[in-house]
Amino acid sequence: MKAYRLLTEEDTSAFCHKVTEALSKGWELYGSPSYAFDASTGKMRCAQAVIKEADGEYDPEVKLGGL
């Protein structure tokens, strides 16, 4: 199965650490990162899609971060 996640975070080093952790666990970047202003918080937010080939069949109960 191919798994997909969209990682999001405020524009701080926490976002880079989140993406780096995913890459260290075998996830691969999918597309370009996005950057947008969140008017409700007044802060910039980042997003990056990642994908990973995983064993087994898709199950909506699977915790993608644990793959």
pLDDT at 65: 87
Phi-psi region of 56 (alpha: psi -120 to 50; beta: other; left: phi over 0): left
Question: The whole model's pTM is what?
Answer: 0.88
The rounded distance, in Å, linking the Cα atoms of 21 and 30 is 15
Band the pLDDT of 2: cuts 50, 70, 90: very high
Model confidence over 4-51: pLDDT tens digits?
A: 999 999 999 999 999 999 999 999 999 999 999 999 999 999 999 999
Exposure b/e, 27-51, CB count within 10 A at least 16 = b = beeeeeeeeeeeeeeeeebbbbbbe
Question: What is the number of other CB atoms lying within 10 angstroms of the CB of residue 8?
Answer: 14
Domain ranges of the chain: 2-58
